[in-house]
Structure 1
Amino acid sequence: MKRIIICVVLLGMLGYAVFSFITDGENEARNQEEQQEFGLEVGKVAPDFELQTMKGEFVQLSDYRDEIVMLNFWATWCVPCQREMPDLEKLYQNTDIKILAVNLIETETKYDDILNFAEDNSLTFPILLDNGEQATDLYHILSVPTTYLIDEKGVIQYRAFGQIDYDTMLKEYKKVKGSS
């Protein structure tokens, strides 16, 4: 009878140790995810925001987890932005990247300027309107264009202050695509 009790106790202890090992691993992974640092530097999780598209839909940056995103802050009056937009459209057409072009609407003369610019340049990616400068403030945008390349986990992998060309966009996209 003693042997049976000892075996039951030992099996119980072994079962608890296995259970504890498994749940500790799951908890550690969950804690690491929760402790990811948010920030604007490469290697940090991009801060989330919700903005309205020109079509009236609301989107959040976090809606695009599991996809590579190029987040671009721009304005119609910005000459480097004007030069950069055709390259963004070309990248959007030639890859599976998601582009979110955040227009600094508070700096525009009128809404129609954005609409006309998008039509004149045949832009097909989503244009988000930063009413109230929510994303502009969150990302500390001081000049446009400003661009962030964000991986599938929401982590910033590249950022640029100023105009970037198609070759640079494609090169940085391929780096992120190749590492995932």
Structure 2
Amino acid sequence: MVKKVIAVVVLIALLGVAIVQAMDKKAEPENVSQEAANMGGLKVGAKAPDFELKTLSGDTVKLSDLKGKKVMLNFWATWCPPCKAEMPAMEEFHKEAGDEVVILAVNIDPHLDVKAFVDENGITFPIPLDAEDKVNETYQV
């Protein structure tokens, strides 16, 4: 009889643990792309997801074409105060680094006047425009 009681208690405990773990799993947010969801989120040291975007100057830039180069990938918006504050330092770094480092400053609000902002601040590095918000989603910015 004691063995049966212990077996029932152990089974109930295991069932309770299984229910708690099942309820504890968080569903992926709807705005996360399938690629990012499949990756389990972006992890340190993981290969950066590839993307291809038009730049402000009309060129096309594809991340995978820069394989083997040092790339500084930045996401920014014209309405973002920290983004505005970092741009002069990034421009200075761009001038100092020259061809050693490629800066890709992906703009996430291309519907605003990005060109005026870039011209006003004397930015010379490439500004890819994420018009469809796909790269922003993939990188979970």
Q: TM class by shorter-chain length?
A: 0.5 to 0.7
Pairing of 1:1-180 with structure 2 (within 5 A): 40-95=42-97, 96-105=100-109, 108=111, 110=112, 113-141=113-141
Once the 2 structures are TM-superposed, how far is the Cα of residue 85 of structure 1 from its aligned partner?
0.5
Per the alignment, in what secondary structure is the counterpart of residue 105 of structure 1?
coil
Per the alignment, in what secondary structure is the counterpart of residue 132 of structure 1?
coil
Once the 2 structures are TM-superposed, how far is the Cα of residue 63 of structure 1 from its aligned partner?
1.1
How many pairs are equivalent? 100
Which sections of structure 1, spanning at least 5 residues, go unmatched?
1-37, 142-180
Once the 2 structures are TM-superposed, how far is the Cα of residue 77 of structure 1 from its aligned partner?
0.7
Once the 2 structures are TM-superposed, how far is the Cα of residue 136 of structure 1 from its aligned partner?
0.4
Per the alignment, in what secondary structure is the counterpart of residue 102 of structure 1?
strand
TM-score, normalised with respect to structure 1: 0.53
Q: Which residue identity does 2:71 align to in structure 1?
A: V
State, as a whole percentage, how many aligned pairs show the same letter: 47
Once the 2 structures are TM-superposed, how far is the Cα of residue 40 of structure 1 from its aligned partner?
2.2
Q: Does the CA-based 8 Å contact 1:75-1:81 persist in structure 2?
A: yes
Per the alignment, in what secondary structure is the counterpart of residue 123 of structure 1?
coil
Per the alignment, in what secondary structure is the counterpart of residue 128 of structure 2?
strand
Q: Does the CA-based 8 Å contact 2:78-2:109 persist in structure 1?
A: no
Q: Which residue identity does 1:103 align to in structure 2?
A: N
Q: Does the CA-based 8 Å contact 2:52-2:61 persist in structure 1?
A: yes
Q: Which residue identity does 2:85 align to in structure 1?
A: R
Bigger share in strand: 1
Cα deviation per residue 1:23-71 (whole Å; 9 max; x = unaligned)?
A: xxxxxxxxxxxxxxx6622211000001100111111111111110000
Superposition RMSD in Å? 1.4
Q: Which residue identity does 1:100 align to in structure 2?
A: L
Which sections of structure 2, spanning at least 5 residues, go unmatched?
1-38
Per the alignment, in what secondary structure is the counterpart of residue 59 of structure 1?
strand
